[in-house]
Amino acid sequence: MTGLWIALGFFGQALFGLRIVVQWAASERAKRYTVPPSFWYISVPAGAILLVYAVWRRDPVFIFNEAVCLAIFIRNIIMLKRQAYGK
């Protein structure tokens, strides 16, 4: 069972790293620094997976970090949606 949890942790970390690749590719295409909405949409599941993994590890520092970051990621998506709908 431990192997599955470690695999989940690695998957979450890989997903988290993917968001940087997405941001870099978008900036290269735009020829300027940019953060595409997909960056935040990838951040949420990655952060959630890492939070679950941190809880399994019972690591309070890791849990705190992932919980705060996840809240920020979700807030950024809410702001993106409000901006898109003019609210």
Q: How confident is the model over 13-53, as pLDDT tens digits?
A: 999 999 999 999 999 999 999 999 999 999 999 999 999 99
pLDDT over 80 (residue 87): no
Domain boundaries, given as residue ranges, for the chain: 2-84
Instruction: Look up the pTM and report it.
Output: 0.90
Query: Between the CA of residue 48 and those of 5, 9, 31, what are the distances in Å?
Result: 14, 11, 31
Kindly report each contact of residues 6-9 with a partner whose C-beta sits within 8 Å and lies 24 or more positions away, as own/partner: 8/49, 8/52, 8/53, 9/49, 9/50, 9/53
**Which pLDDT value is given to residue 13?**
97
